[in-house]
Amino acid sequence: MTPEEFEALRPRVGRLTMDTVELARSVLVDGATQSEAAVQHGMSRQRVHGIVQRFKAAAEDLPTDWRRVEVWLPPNLAAQVEAMAREARINHASKERR
């Protein structure tokens, strides 16, 4: 992510402390690993992951409380989950336009 893209996201992620913003920037713009950022900022890797996910959700125009879920499924169930995800995005987009 470029510095300009990162700055454009900031208003869409809500109110954050400067330390949180710097942490996200170190991972998304500067290329630090989440583990490196966790050590540098005195946070757990899980907390760093949550912060990074919040910025990524904003980049995809998703609500910040949505969660990314990755699982291995049989093809028929995977197709159902993918259809549910598409429907949720469509519903969210239509609500945003109102």
pLDDT of residue 83: 96
Please report the pLDDT score of residue 3 as a whole number: 93
The predicted structure's pLDDT at residue 61: 79
Same domain? For 72 and 62 the reply is no
Specify the number of domains making up the chain: 2
> Assign residue 82 a region: left if phi > 0, alpha if psi is -120 to 50, beta otherwise?
alpha
Same domain, 75 and 59: no
**What's the domain range around 92?**
68-98
Q: Do 75 and 43 belong to one domain? A: no
For residue range 16-72, what is the model confidence (pLDDT) as tens digits? 888 889 999 999 999 999 999 999 999 999 999 999 988 888 888 777 678 778 899
What is the crossing angle of helices 18-28 and 45-59, to 10°?
A: 80
